[in-house]
Structure 1
């Protein structure tokens, strides 16, 4: 018997801390309307993003992608799968 373990080290954008950088893997795969909006904002697979700060209650999250600064609801950020960049 062969057992294969698959480890996923990916996290969501909502799980990152301040000043952490990541690369987007998937964005809102189950919600095509939200996915279209995120793509229009420039948040699509392959793009590098840096978490800048959080609002006082932790929502929304401000991120930088290229020269753009965006604020994203934590609920939406939880649907963006990323890989950390060290």
Structure 2
């Protein structure tokens, strides 16, 4: 899936990140990101929080987005009582 990301308000040496950029993502990219956010590697993540978390995140990355990586109605209805916030 491809999309556009808009970044703003970066300053100093990160100012070059401001603007609009194209980005592509695949399901494996999403799974890899979920498993490594906050950890140096997948192995480090599993050693800290356990294999159950890895399995849960993989299941979420497979079950919540559809084939085109859009959220499914199941995902959108998970917290139905809190959305929309108005």
TM-score (norm 1): 0.26
The structure showing larger relative contact order (alpha-carbon pairs under 8 Å, at least 6 residues apart) is 1
Going by fraction, where is helix more abundant, 1 or 2? 2
Q: Decide which structure has the larger Cα Rg and report it.
A: 2
TM-score (norm 2): 0.26
